[in-house]
Amino acid sequence: MSYLDNEGAPAWKAWLTTTDHKRIALMYLSLIAPLFLAAMSLGVTMRIKHLHGGDFLISAQTYNELFTLHGVVMIFMFVIPGLATVFGNFFLPILIGARDVAFPRVNLLSVYLFAAGCALALFSIVTRGGAADTGWTFYVPFSVRTGTDVSLAVFSVFVLGLSSILTGLNFIVTTHRLRAPGMSFHRMPLFVWASYATAWIQVLVTPVIGITMILVILERFFNVGLFDPAKGGDPLMYQHLFWTYSHPAVYIMIIPAMGAVTEVIPTFCHKNVYGYKAIAYSSLGIAFFGSLVWGHHMFTSGMAELADMIFSLLTMIVAVPSAIKIFNWTATLYKGSIELTPALLYALSFVFLFAIGGITGIIQGALAVNVFLHDTYWVVGHFHYVMFGGTGFGFFAALLYWFPKMFGRMYNPKPAYWAWALMFVGFNVFYFTFLVLGTMGMPRRYYAHLPQYDTAQLLASAGAFTMVSGILILAGDLVWALFKGARAPDNPWGGMTLEWKTASPPPKENFKERPVITSGPYEFNPGRRA
């Protein structure tokens, strides 16, 4: 009996009180997917606005609220939780041969906290003050002084942080305690390694943003002056605390995507992954070093030169474990019998776009260059190459890879190919133009732009519209498959990891009998070492 069966209970009750990790994953997906589309439409509105350099379509104040809300929703409600809560919840227990996560009821609590956090943030749109207009970074002193409802927005971030911590905590204990017999750490699929590394960042740094958001609220209500130089405070202290979480957070966003891509590539190359241990430990390496580079957001803020140099150096070091992954994915493809399915296509796009995102990151991590590029469209371009080219495409790759297993239905690959073409081309036209616009001097977050940027802005908008049409086609294809798709076999792709050894969709208890593990996760050719 599949996990989707309500077993006679009313559907609302069976879903809202479930502690099944698979159902909780779908609850997350049902919250995250519409929020993603909503935040995307905010982005589209901004691109429409930039078809004109001056006053057009929306007011400057609305524009400020739009980019804040776009950032808050995309970051805290899509990229941070996206892969971890949907695919992590669904597949982490299955991939290690467990029946559920370690604390199923805590897992349910975390999805409710997530829903509450989303509701709070969206509610701030209709409160008297209006949606926050500070940018998703909530920098002081503006976030303390502005009349918009920053308090509600930052409180929602606090609640979302709690939810994220509980998910991370659950994953760490699950990975340590619930592995099937024979599943040693070095036999775990690499998505599990990635989720495990991510979970550590979630547990260790999320509390920092939690308390920092509370500090902003306290400042707004009691005016203590913690960040006010007139009272002895230091505005840079806010930036330090904010980025102590928010830089590691980009690794919370990207590492699970790397993990998902690492599952997709070997399956469609029908070949053992190259450098298993290097990929596994580079996840931990990224998690560790990635937590120590937050100062590179503050090179132009007036930090001490010593700190500038240390943070710049550390930033270069993070590139090493990231590059290790890229080399290993490429080496896995070498001499593989490649089957270019939609999932692999999106995964390869991830590798390509993430490489550009990473390299542009190195460029702006160099101190002298940073002064020139800081707060321009270049940074926005870099960020979207990593977060959308990386995590976004990784999310789609994971969705296309695991969709048949999650829902027991096959999707039509043809629209997925077309969607890919539109997204990939549109994406690059859009964000590569942003990189160029940045070097031309276009500052980020500006409502208006000068006539010399008109052509490039138009090109970027055209790219954005192309990309969005691709996303909508993909969404349509998957929604169609959800209801009308053909029944999926247990192992449509010929995958080797445990999720393919159970039914599609999996039974409630995941496996009929507890699996016993006798080999590594990707041994396509037993006896022949890759």
Partner 1 sequence: MGNEQAHVIPYRTLALVWMALLLLTLALWGLSRLSQRLAVLGLLTISPFKAGLVLYVFMHLRYERVLLRTMVFAALAILVIFLALLFSDIPFR
Partner 2 sequence: MSEAAEFDYEGAKLGMWLFLFTEFMLFGALFMLYGGSRVLNPEQFHAASRELDAGLGVANTMVLLTGSLFIASALSALQGGRRRAARNLTALTVLCGAVFLAVKGFEWAAHFRHGFYPNGPALKGAPPGRALFAGLYYLMTGLHGLHVLAGMALLSVLWFWLGSGRARPDHFIALENSALYWHLVDIIWIFLLPLFYLAA
C-alpha 214/C-alpha 53 separation (Å) is: 38
Q: Partners of 507 in the beta sheet?
A: 2
In 3D space, the residue among 78, 202, 80, 70 whose CA is nearest the CA of residue 136 turns out to be 70
CA distances from 379 to 58, 167, 424, 449, 462 (A): 24, 30, 20, 17, 20
* In the complex, minimum distance from the CB of residue 250 to partner 1, in angstroms, rounded to a whole number: 17
* Binds 206: which of partner 1, partner 2, none (CB < 5-8 Å by kind): partner 2
Name the phi and psi angles at 491, rounded to 5.
Answer: -135, 75
162 vs 442 by CB, closer to partner 2: 162
Site for partner 2 (CB under 8 A): which residue of 130, 141, 233, 443?
A: 233
173 vs 369 by CB, closer to partner 2: 173
* In the complex, minimum distance from the CB of residue 242 to partner 2, in angstroms, rounded to a whole number: 10
102 vs 530 by CB, closer to partner 2: 102
The answer to the question of residue 231 lying near partner 1 (CB under 8 A) is no
The answer to the question of residue 494 lying near partner 2 (CB under 8 A) is no
* Positions in 179-218 near partner 1 (CB under 8 A): 204
Q: Where are the alpha helices (DSSP H) in 334-389?
A: 342-365, 367-373, 377-384
* In the complex, minimum distance from the CB of residue 176 to partner 2, in angstroms, rounded to a whole number: 6
Site for partner 2 (CB under 8 A): which residue of 1, 11, 126, 230?
A: 230
Site for partner 2 (CB under 8 A): which residue of 122, 172, 261, 481?
A: 172
C-alpha 434/C-alpha 463 separation (Å) is: 11
C-alpha 497/C-alpha 520 separation (Å) is: 9
- Tell me which amino acid residue 267 is: T
The answer to the question of residue 115 lying near partner 1 (CB under 8 A) is no
> Among positive and negative, which fits the CA dihedral 414, 261, 93, 275?
positive
> Among positive and negative, which fits the CA dihedral 157, 159, 165, 171?
negative
Q: Are 127 and 152 in contact (CB under 8 A)?
A: yes
* In the complex, minimum distance from the CB of residue 230 to partner 2, in angstroms, rounded to a whole number: 6
* Binds 226: which of partner 2, partner 1, none (CB < 5-8 Å by kind): partner 2
* Positions in 504-523 near partner 2 (CB under 8 A): 509
* Positions in 239-268 near partner 1 (CB under 8 A): 240, 244
Q: Are 28 and 81 in contact (CB under 8 A)?
A: yes
In 3D space, the residue among 423, 431, 429 whose CA is nearest the CA of residue 383 turns out to be 431
The answer to the question of residue 169 lying near partner 2 (CB under 8 A) is yes
Give the DSSP letter of residue 516. -
The answer to the question of residue 292 lying near partner 1 (CB under 8 A) is yes
Question: Which two tokens mark 85?
Answer: 């809560």
* Positions in 300-339 near partner 1 (CB under 8 A): 302-307, 310-311
Q: Which residue do the tokens 């943070």 mark?
A: 311
Q: Could you list the residues that contact partner 1 (CB under 8 A)?
A: 176, 204, 234, 236, 240, 244, 291-292, 294-295, 302-307, 310-311
Q: Could you list the residues that contact partner 2 (CB under 8 A)?
A: 99, 102-104, 165, 168-170, 172-173, 176-178, 203-208, 210-212, 215, 218, 222-226, 229-234, 237, 240-241, 244, 509
